[in-house]
Chain A
Amino acid sequence: MKTSNNYFFSDMSVMLGRSMRHILRSMDTIITVTITPIVMMLLFVYVLGGAIQAGTDNYVNYLLPGMLLISIASGTAYIAYRLFMDMQRGIFERFSSMPIARSSALWGHVLTALVSNAISVIVIILVALIMGFRSSAGILSWLSVAGILALFTLALTWLAVIAGLSAKSVDGAGAFSYPLIFLPFISSAFVPTESMPTVVRIFAENQPVTSIVNTIRALLSESPIENEIWVALAWCLITLVITYLFAIRIYKRKVG
């Protein structure tokens, strides 16, 4: 085993290179993950924004955190899809019968998710800047935002790994992401939860997206950070640990 573990990082970077090529060569991934949130942002700011009472004079600032989460959530469907295809086509079996680090194939996909999401998040922030997004937040706040987004990405990625490994069909592999993409709409991402009817409001205020959105918003606008950051971190970390453990178990059982 020693020989193969010595190569863990080089094997993983080969895997990362492989799935990054997959992303760069499939236009639909780039469109769904980056262009769709940008179009939504344009739509909400320039078409609907005038009628939305978010209690802010800069709606782009208000909207950006939710857009970033939508972009990350829609990206996870592709992770599940790519994993499913690797299982289906026997590529994982080929890798597993080779003298390489056992989990490098899986980690390659997970790292790819982090890298590709980071790229689309940066692109969306740049477009938001053009649209008038402004933040005086310092480097520490930005790093915290990056950290929370990375945790959110990882939690959803391991969930996607479970979906991709256990799906029976291509459509099934991506289906899990629809509710995830929908969650931001019933949260504080677009409008303050105070404006919602009681039942919806109770749901919105107690689901993970609201606490994450509010935390990122507070970090970027340098408002005082409330307890919500701990709620947000707890959501991300607990989901991450549970999905990671499940995913590894399924991977060991399926691929050996």
Chain B
Amino acid sequence: MENAILVTGLTKSYKKLPVLKGVDFEVKKGTIFALLGSNGAGKTTIVKILTTLLKQDSGTAIVNGFDVRVKPAHVRQAISLTGQFAAVDEILTGRENLILIAKLRHLESLRQVADDLLQRFGLSDAADRRVSTYSGGMRRRLDIAMSLVGKPELIFLDEPTTGLDPEARIEVWANVKKLADSGVTVFLTTQYLEEAEKLAERIAILHEGTIIAQGTLDELKKMFPPSKLEYVEKQPTLEEIFLAIIGKKRGETNENQQ
């Protein structure tokens, strides 16, 4: 399988503070890749370099076959970025936001593109309301929908569920899974172990400026002490309790469908 992203020896310092000290990883086409790291580990810096917003100090980053430093315009043709904060226009309606991006991607049949995505992300009813009236989960959904306008091959999601309530988080997870099923490559960063575990086929752990471990979940498990067999009564997690009480066990229904 071809690589969607190939990063070698990436370094970046802000003033004199080194943030990335030689980062290497690769992402296969059509997979979900999670970059796991605590706050301030440099995840967003990597996303910014890969999406041509920031230039690295040294090392190379090849995205969709093009060097981000040499051919940024070619890279931009293939990618889309959903940043850490929902980058939606509050004063426009949901539909207008999608049409705005469709216009900037120079697409035809703008309305059709917008309608399809509104439908797909369950925003049809709210389509003609201003985004300032949307809930956090709806904003995030619109944000991701905007990233899909023009069918990019590679999608960057920078902490897509930070600040969302459990319901909205499960919704985002379901959407990300659907994306990967449609053949899109997803690069996501997260600080939640659970998120990486649930979504990603490959996981890389970024710590103090380098990747300290990467592989599939099984490979990562093998690197660490073998699991012990213990008998524990299965208690519901607080999340399961919360979701059961509010009566929307969406995470489970989604998994059952698949």
Give the interface of A toward B (CB within 8 A): 1-4, 7, 10-11, 14, 18, 21-22, 25-26, 89-91, 93-100, 255-256
Contact = CB atoms under 8 A, between A and B. Distances in A.
A254 B100 CA distance: 23
Contacts of B92: 18, 21
11 contacts: A2-B73, A3-B77, A4-B76, A89-B87, A90-B84, A90-B85, A91-B87, A94-B146, A97-B51, A99-B73, A256-B54
A93 B53 contact: yes
Interface stretch (B102-110, B113-121, B171-179): B102-110
A3 B100 CA distance: 19
Given A96-B53, A97-B76, A11 B81 contact: no
B106 A10 contact: yes
B91 interface: yes
Contact of A90 (B83, B90, B101, B103): B83
Q: Which of B54, B77, B104, B106 has most A Cβ within 10 Å?
A: B104
B82 to A, nearest CB: 8
A54 B76 CA distance: 60
Contacts of A2: 73
Nearest to A26: B91
Contacts of A100: 104
Contacts of A11: 104
Contacts of A98: 76, 80, 101, 104-105
A93 B81 CA distance: 8
A100 B96 CA distance: 18
Interface of B: 51-55, 73, 76-77, 79-81, 83-92, 96, 100-101, 103-106, 146, 156
B165 to A, nearest CB: 20
Contacts of A21: 91-92, 96
Contacts of A94: 81, 83, 87, 146
Contacts of A7: 106
Given A93-B53, A95-B104, A18 B89 contact: yes
Contacts of B54: 256
Nearest to B53: A256
Contact of A3 (B73, B103, B156): B73
Nearest to B156: A97
Contact of A97 (B80, B84, B91): B80
A255 B87 CA distance: 14
A26 B105 CA distance: 27
A25 B52 contact: no
Contact of B87 (A18, A93, A99): A93
Nearest to A99: B76
Contacts of B100: 14, 18
Contacts of A97: 51-53, 76, 79-81, 156
A3 B80 CA distance: 17
A99 B88 CA distance: 18
B69 to A, nearest CB: 12
Contacts of B146: 94
Contacts of B106: 7, 10
A89 B80 CA distance: 16
Contacts of B86: 89-90
A61 to B, nearest CB: 38
A3 B106 CA distance: 11
B118 to A, nearest CB: 18
A94 B49 CA distance: 14
A96 B156 CA distance: 14
A2 B76 CA distance: 13
A2 B96 CA distance: 28
Nearest to B78: A99
Contacts of A93: 53, 81, 83, 87
A204 to B, nearest CB: 40
A256 B79 CA distance: 17
Nearest to A5: B73
Nearest to B92: A21
A10 B146 CA distance: 19
B63 to A, nearest CB: 11
The 6 closest A-B pairs by CB, nearest first: A90-B87, A90-B83, A97-B81, A99-B76, A97-B51, A94-B87
Contacts of B103: 14
Contacts of B53: 93, 96-97, 255-256
Nearest to A7: B106
B104 to A, nearest CB: 5
